[in-house]
Structure 1
Amino acid sequence: MFKIKSVLFLAFITSLTFYGQTQVKEYSFGDGFRFTAKDSTLGVKVSARFQTLFLGNWSIHNDDFSDVGQFNSNFLIRRARLKFDGFAYSPKLTYKVELGLSNRDLNHGGPEYYGEGGNLVLDAYLKWNFFKAFSIKAGQFKLPGNRERIVSSANMQFVDRSALNSKFTLDRDIGASLHYDKVLGKQFGLHLTAALSQGEGRNVTMGNLGGYKSSFKLEIMPFGAFAKKGAYIGADIYREQKPKLALAFMFDINGKAVRSRGNRGEFLSTDAIYKDLYTGFIDFMFKYKGFSAMGEYAIRRTADNNRSLVDAEGNSVGAYDFGSAINLQAGYLFKSNYEIAARFTEVSSIPGFSGSPNQIYYTLAASKYIKNHSLKIQTDVSYIENRFFDDALQWRVQIEFGF
């Protein structure tokens, strides 16, 4: 806790010092505080946000609505974030530093893997547009994975991301990525990304126990770019006046993965003979005049399609968490900035079982966007159909504020 307070105090003092040497640009609620050095060699945007969440859960015994019980609930600060981004020396050299301050952000797997420090840093990278449509990024950042994960948690259409994301996302890692972003013809957008990262996840200090992680992504926008990067913003906040579509394909190889979900999940036994873990995604985003729809498919496998891990003597010492999932969601934003949305998520996380999937989520949501995603209140209700244990009912209410 002392280290976190020290970081925040240093950030505050640095901001005050920088303020006296810069020009302050006009501020609009939700856009962050913007500063530019008097010689225009440095630009900084400072922003912060938090989410206050109420969560209630009920179990439904034997799938019978007349036998609902075991209610539990809690309030929590779901997320609290502090972000700095901008450019240095040239607008072609940009940076981002984002810190996670809530307990949910700071939890980690212990000092054995993360050292004595906390799990404070979310993003810390430089990105250089070194030649025409080519850019390179280095540091800790979100990998080019599923769309739902790349959408900031500040810009979600529902209270939180789906079960597909929680089980299959590539999340963040430390490494480098190469980007190619080009408009072909009058409007056809082509975006290619290739990343090489350590493969153990964010803030890990133990070194590389397994192999490296290679991630590849192809995305097209045949009808042109979305308004204000809306391909990665939940809901049609900016009301596209023409149909807009983004379609993406991703493939990831986590060489000799040491965690149950590649660069996420529990750390596996060091006695295990690790395997390469393969993850694939297909997703889309569509928006038009207040209507939005998003879909994702995810799959994770090993080459031998066997999740079990053994040691040199053939003893079972762990297993990978993989399978497949699909997520479909759609919503309509009224001119009053109220939105209704629905989501269907199906997860089959254990291979080798036939028939119905492990879990199916049916979710209905309502949102009021007071100032776009910077000030909003959202609620959703989910019925969770579980194959191996009792079904569940979940209700969430969340308020988000950011500047």
Structure 2
Amino acid sequence: MKSPILPKVVLCACLCIYLSFLNLNAQETNAPKFGKGLFNLVGKDSTFTMKVGLRFQTLATSQWDADNGLSNQSTSMLIRRSRLKFDGFAFSPKLKYKVELGLSNRDQSGGSYYTHDSPRYILDAVLKWNFSGNFVLWFGQTKLPGNRERVISSANLQQVNRSLLNSRFTIDRDMGIQLRHKFNLSENFVVKEIFSIAQGEGRNVTRGNVGGHQYTTRVELFPFGEFTSKGDYKGSDLKFEQKPKLSLGFAYDFNNDAVKNRSNQGSYMYINGTSEGSSAEFYQTNISTVFIDAMYKHKGFSFMAEYANRDAKHPFAKNSDGSLTGDEVQVGNGLNLQTGYLLSKTVELSGRYTNISYDKNITGKGAENQYTLGLSKYIAGHSLKVQTDVSYTDIGFNTNQLLYRLQVDIHF
């Protein structure tokens, strides 16, 4: 049963941990500059560190149907995200960790029988072991190495939120193991590789692993060297790269015997008249997803492009007797093109075009096109910013929508 007081309990627990560390005479407890965490802890014997951070986003939206003028207006305000973050190293600087907890309703949504009917508080809980040279082994729950836009933190986005491509094709978070490595082809040319084996069910699943496992590999090429301050995974060129920087990414994901209609995301595909519960039966099929993306930055100008394709061996879900269930894998393509230019060090104008083209013969859905114009005011970089954008969407070329958003983001 969901507990309305649990977020308060979590916050109190964090405060108690902090006070306990103080009582244990931690060697160093200092408040860093704004945007670099609430406080940092360093153990007396320097065998651990912990940085604690907090952020939240307040979002207001207005939406209209644009078919017959601007009609059927709907408005809303909500805390879109609210997060607590902990990171540092344990025992050795070669063993790092990250924990991120989601406290808003949107962060916790998705509770079901398979997540033990509980809110999904844990976003990330992962260990990162640099066991040799440039090899790092990750173990735990975190984002899979899929599309670039998903891996960019929601705190560092160029516009109010991610594109339709991400919402339709992302492989998001899962529990598993990732092996990461990088090397230099030349003095400036850097190559990074990632290989992941995950459970294939999405985050916070507690009741078994249905179907097979999920395998993801990603390669990134940096022909002009690495970006300043990991800028290849941050929106906007706030560092004003003095030399052109480019990152090209290629990822392939294979989910063996997947039971959800969007690989490890979306809805479970039930068969034989069963539904959620211990007696549920699932349709299983192999789902493959391909991502190709790029990030370019130079002197305040940025450009990001992403392409996604999802395919399935047998996309139509069938019962044991061969009859169709009415569910199907969301097979198709997505394209996202996004650019921005900093008019000054703190003001940026951005634009985005997104196209979603499902296979209409399988999904019965028409194409979606979305055009977004955004304006951002960076008061303290991504740590404190005000962002607004307006989007026009046509769905199947017969339904048109207009969306306006305003968001304030603060990041301690």
Match of 1:366 among 372, 375, 395: 375
Equivalent positions of 1:57-68 (< 5 A) are 57-61=63-67, 67-68=69-70
- Displacement after TM superposition at 1:315 (Å): 1.6
SS in 2 for 1:9: helix
Equivalent positions of 1:239-254 (< 5 A) are 239-254=240-255
Equivalent position of 1:342 in the other structure:
351
Tell me if 1:316 matches 2:324.
yes
- For residues 173-206 of structure 1, the C-alpha deviation after alignment (integer angstroms, 9 at most, x for no partner) is 0000111122332121111000000000000111
Q: CA RMSD in A?
A: 1.7
- Displacement after TM superposition at 1:5 (Å): 2.7
- Displacement after TM superposition at 1:109 (Å): 4.2
- Displacement after TM superposition at 1:300 (Å): 0.3
The question of whether the paired residues in 1 share the 8 Å contact of 2:143 and 2:173 is answered with yes
Match of 2:83 among 74, 81, 84: 81
Q: Structure 2 stretches of 5 or more lacking a match?
A: 271-279
Tell me if 1:279 matches 2:285.
no
- Paired amino acid for 1:395: Y
Of 356-365 and 312-321, more deviation after overlay is shown by 356-365
The question of whether the paired residues in 2 share the 8 Å contact of 1:140 and 1:173 is answered with yes
Match of 1:325 among 325, 329, 334: 334
Equivalent position of 1:93 in the other structure:
95
For 1:90 and 1:303, locate their aligned partners in 2 and report how far apart those are by CA, in whole Å: 45
Equivalent positions of 1:123-142 (< 5 A) are 123-142=124-143
- Paired amino acid for 2:241: E
Equivalent position of 2:52 in the other structure:
46
Equivalent position of 2:19 in the other structure:
16
- Paired amino acid for 1:41: T
Equivalent position of 2:177 in the other structure:
176
The question of whether the paired residues in 1 share the 8 Å contact of 2:383 and 2:411 is answered with yes
Tell me if 1:352 matches 2:361.
yes
The question of whether the paired residues in 1 share the 8 Å contact of 2:259 and 2:284 is answered with yes
Equivalent position of 2:34 in the other structure:
29
For 1:323 and 1:22, locate their aligned partners in 2 and report how far apart those are by CA, in whole Å: 55
- For residues 261-289 of structure 1, the C-alpha deviation after alignment (integer angstroms, 9 at most, x for no partner) is 11111122044441000000000000000
For 1:121 and 1:253, locate their aligned partners in 2 and report how far apart those are by CA, in whole Å: 25
- For residues 330-350 of structure 1, the C-alpha deviation after alignment (integer angstroms, 9 at most, x for no partner) is 000133410000000000134
Equivalent position of 1:378 in the other structure:
387
For 1:316 and 1:109, locate their aligned partners in 2 and report how far apart those are by CA, in whole Å: 27
Q: Number of residues paired by the alignment?
A: 396
- Paired amino acid for 1:84: F
The question of whether the paired residues in 2 share the 8 Å contact of 1:23 and 1:36 is answered with yes
Identity of aligned residues (%): 44
The question of whether the paired residues in 2 share the 8 Å contact of 1:272 and 1:312 is answered with no
- Paired amino acid for 2:103: L
Of 114-123 and 154-163, more deviation after overlay is shown by 114-123
For 1:311 and 1:389, locate their aligned partners in 2 and report how far apart those are by CA, in whole Å: 34
The question of whether the paired residues in 2 share the 8 Å contact of 1:360 and 1:385 is answered with yes
The question of whether the paired residues in 1 share the 8 Å contact of 2:165 and 2:354 is answered with yes
Of 225-234 and 15-24, more deviation after overlay is shown by 15-24
- For residues 215-246 of structure 1, the C-alpha deviation after alignment (integer angstroms, 9 at most, x for no partner) is 00000111001000000000001110100000
For 1:183 and 1:31, locate their aligned partners in 2 and report how far apart those are by CA, in whole Å: 30
For 2:94 and 2:331, locate their aligned partners in 1 and report how far apart those are by CA, in whole Å: 39
- Paired amino acid for 2:128: K
Cα–Cα, structure 1 residues 131 and 336, in superposed 2: closer, same or farther, change >3 Å? closer
Cα–Cα, structure 1 residues 272 and 124, in superposed 2: closer, same or farther, change >3 Å? closer
The question of whether the paired residues in 1 share the 8 Å contact of 2:219 and 2:251 is answered with yes
The question of whether the paired residues in 2 share the 8 Å contact of 1:280 and 1:300 is answered with yes
- Displacement after TM superposition at 1:162 (Å): 0.1
The question of whether the paired residues in 2 share the 8 Å contact of 1:136 and 1:179 is answered with yes
The question of whether the paired residues in 2 share the 8 Å contact of 1:271 and 1:311 is answered with no
For 1:139 and 1:353, locate their aligned partners in 2 and report how far apart those are by CA, in whole Å: 35
Equivalent position of 2:188 in the other structure:
187
For 1:121 and 1:174, locate their aligned partners in 2 and report how far apart those are by CA, in whole Å: 11
- Paired amino acid for 1:133: N
For 1:351 and 1:215, locate their aligned partners in 2 and report how far apart those are by CA, in whole Å: 27
Equivalent position of 1:224 in the other structure:
225
For 2:260 and 2:129, locate their aligned partners in 1 and report how far apart those are by CA, in whole Å: 31
- Paired amino acid for 1:15: Y
- Displacement after TM superposition at 1:388 (Å): 6.0
- Paired amino acid for 2:79: I
Q: Structure 1 stretches of 5 or more lacking a match?
A: none
For 2:297 and 2:265, locate their aligned partners in 1 and report how far apart those are by CA, in whole Å: 31
- Paired amino acid for 2:392: Y
For 1:109 and 1:299, locate their aligned partners in 2 and report how far apart those are by CA, in whole Å: 28
The question of whether the paired residues in 1 share the 8 Å contact of 2:195 and 2:216 is answered with yes
Equivalent positions of 1:91-170 (< 5 A) are 91-110=93-112, 112-170=113-171
TM-score of the superposed pair, with normalisation by structure 1? 0.95
Match of 2:409 among 381, 400, 403: 400
For 1:2 and 1:374, locate their aligned partners in 2 and report how far apart those are by CA, in whole Å: 28
For 1:357 and 1:146, locate their aligned partners in 2 and report how far apart those are by CA, in whole Å: 23
TM-score of the superposed pair, with normalisation by structure 2? 0.93
SS in 2 for 1:371: coil
For 1:363 and 1:357, locate their aligned partners in 2 and report how far apart those are by CA, in whole Å: 20
Cα–Cα, structure 1 residues 34 and 183, in superposed 2: closer, same or farther, change >3 Å? farther
Cα–Cα, structure 1 residues 187 and 302, in superposed 2: closer, same or farther, change >3 Å? same
Tell me if 1:5 matches 2:14.
no
